[in-house]
Amino acid sequence: MAEAARVGQKSKNSFARARLVFPDGTSRVTVDRDPVPFYVERGMGSYLFDVDGRRFLDLGGNFTTLIHGHAFAPVVEALTRQLQRGSCFANPTESEIELAALLCGRIPRVDRVRFVNSGTEAVLFAIKAARAFTGRSKIAKLEGAYHGACDWAEVSLAATPENWGDPTAPLSTPYYRGMPTSVLNEVVVLRFNDVEGVHRLLSLDAHRLAAVLLDPMPSRGGLIAPKPEFIAAVQEIAGKNGILVIADEVLNLRQGFRGASARYGLVPDLLTMGKIIGGGLPIGAVGGREDVMKVFDASAGPPLLPQGGTFSANPLSMTAGLAAMRHLDHAAFAHLETLGNILRDGIGRAISTRHVPLCVTGAASLFRIHPMTHIPSDYREAYPAPGAAALMKQLSRFFAENGIILPHAAAASISTPMTRSDAEFIIDVFAGFLDSHQEMLDAIEASR
Ligand SMILES: Cc1ncc(COP(=O)(O)O)c(C=O)c1O
């Protein structure tokens, strides 16, 4: 379909203006553009409306943040009330205690919390906290796993077959030109679900490692389920060697009432949160074991780890987060789980009845479609061949043309206002894509 049908004239006009003030016309590398992004006029419930008057069912949810959809009434009401009382203060407000109490009450191992303004900051402070607690500097992380924009967490985020090295000894690869070698040297790279690698690589550096940073189901790494023996190996080697386990749940906290670690049997020492806990406003949080979180304690003099932040724990993020999280009760999670299962099953059936080289991964309210027959077990297996990557781009484009936002090369997410008929619509559009792209799918199959 011609580009004119994908992006309306008003969006094109806006993008032309934006190109005069932003290096590439946008303010985030993660903005989907094809090659022009569409500009949003407003969001309501499960839907986004663009400036050209088109409506989309939103499976992006601002990168999985909007678990209740757009303009969720309890959040709007709470924010309106708070805005009339001021937006930020240098003193604490009671709203921060309430949100912290909710998180400590719900999420296992979160005895204490500190709020920051983004998931990136949460990961940054979790790494620093692990360093301050252990007195060690190195961290281990998973190849291909995204944890925001903090240097150490970006190592090997975009590793490629050309630079990722031997499967038994993944190399630390830079994410941007000029990334300090000292940063690369501080990071041990592991492969997801590689039990033997965890034993060998963590043991090699055991007394220099402050933490293993681990997203239980890395979205950019493939949104692949962790093997129980992998989780057990991380836990065992870390525990034996005084290495802290940091569970990054900035994205995957949405997997259940008690989060993702609880779902997969991971018992972290520190846990990072963000996205859903802010109800649509910027937020991040580090939580964890009481003794580890003591590194932030400034009550008896300078703490082991000073942490501040002009907007940390601002009452707008706190009240929006509290309203959103209070409505995320067991019934809300059960609804998301049921709908997620219907979607993944329906997509899986559309694939298997047509014998096409695709598969679907994910859990709870998340899913991701891969251009390969077998469910990958890690980032390397999930890495698409060039032809397959083009197919996935076509898939997102086809969805957009049919009124659905499907994030490209990232997790798609559903929200509480979505219904069974939304799920059926998504499955129908997916089946329509398969039926209209047989040639491309055959080419992928032939190239395997
Ligand atoms: C697992 C994970 N950690 C950290 C981050 C960074 O969060 P933020 O974009 O709020 O900085 C993200 C963002 O997508 C994430 O998915």
The reply to whether ligand 1 has any atom less than 6 angstroms from the CB of 255 is no
Q: Which CATH architecture has domain 73-326?
A: 3-Layer(aba) Sandwich (3.40)
Cα–Cα distances in angstroms (integers) from residue 20 to residues 12, 32, 52, 336, 355, in the given order: 13, 19, 21, 42, 47
What is the amino acid identity at position 84?
Q
Nearest to 412 by CA among 388, 390, 395: 395
Structure tokens at 408: 């490209």
Average pLDDT over residues 307-334: 98
The reply to whether ligand 1 has any atom less than 6 angstroms from the CB of 366 is no
Cα distance between residue 79 and residue 82, in whole Å: 5
Cα distance between residue 48 and residue 53, in whole Å: 10
Burial class from Cβ neighbours inside 10 Å (0-12, 13-18, 19+) for residue 418 reads buried
Q: In the prediction, which pLDDT does 170 show?
A: 98
Over 50: is that where the pLDDT of 309 sits?
yes
Kindly report the three-state secondary structure assignment for every residue of 340-367. HHHHHHHHHHHHHHHCCCCEEECCCCEE
pLDDT digits (tens, 9 = 90+) for 327-361: 999 999 999 999 999 999 999 999 999 999 999 99
Q: Please state, rounded to an integer, the average pLDDT across all residues of the chain.
A: 96
The reply to whether ligand 1 has any atom less than 6 angstroms from the CB of 285 is no
Over 90: is that where the pLDDT of 137 sits?
yes
Q: In the prediction, which pLDDT does 1 show?
A: 40
In the chain, ranges of CATH 3.40.640.10 domains: 73-326
Measured from the Cα of 63, ligand 1's closest atom is 14
Q: Are 35 and 296 in contact (CB under 8 A)?
A: no
Average pLDDT over residues 204-228: 97
Over 70: is that where the pLDDT of 142 sits?
yes
Q: ∠187-191-192 over CA atoms, to 5°? A: 120
Average pLDDT over residues 23-27: 95
Average pLDDT over residues 147-158: 98
Over 70: is that where the pLDDT of 3 sits?
no
Over 90: is that where the pLDDT of 448 sits?
no
Instruction: Note if 248 is an active site residue.
Output: yes
Kindly report the three-state secondary structure assignment for every residue of 184-244. HHCEEEECCCCHHHHHHHHHHCCCCEEEEEECCCCCCCCCCCCCHHHHHHHHHHHHHCCCE
Q: In the prediction, which pLDDT does 442 show?
A: 87
The reply to whether ligand 1 has any atom less than 6 angstroms from the CB of 383 is no
pLDDT grade for 5, boundaries at 50, 70 and 90? low
pLDDT digits (tens, 9 = 90+) for 414-430: 999 999 999 999 999 99
Measured from the Cα of 282, ligand 1's closest atom is 10
Given the residues 58, 275, 378, 383, the one annotated as active site: 275
Q: What percent of the chain has pLDDT over 70?
A: 99
Compute, in angstroms, the gap from residue 251 CA to the centroid of ligand 1: 6
The reply to whether ligand 1 has any atom less than 6 angstroms from the CB of 213 is no
Cα distance between residue 384 and residue 401, in whole Å: 23
- Tokens 């709007």, located at residue: 76
pLDDT digits (tens, 9 = 90+) for 253-281: 999 999 999 999 999 999 999 999 999 99
Over 70: is that where the pLDDT of 10 sits?
yes
In the chain, ranges of CATH 3.90.1150.10 domains: 3-71+329-447
Q: Are 339 and 192 in contact (CB under 8 A)?
A: no
pLDDT digits (tens, 9 = 90+) for 355-412: 999 999 999 999 999 999 999 999 999 999 888 989 999 999 999 999 999 998 889 9
Q: Which segment of 139-143, 283-287, 392-396 scores lowest on mean pLDDT?
A: 392-396
Q: Which CATH architecture has domain 3-71+329-447?
A: Alpha-Beta Complex (3.90)
Who's near 209: CB < 8 A, 6+ residues apart? 136, 138, 139, 140, 188, 202, 241, 243
Over 50: is that where the pLDDT of 4 sits?
no
Compute, in angstroms, the gap from residue 8 CA to the centroid of ligand 1: 30
Over 60: is that where the pLDDT of 282 sits?
yes
Residue nearest atom 8 in ligand 1 by C-alpha distance: 119
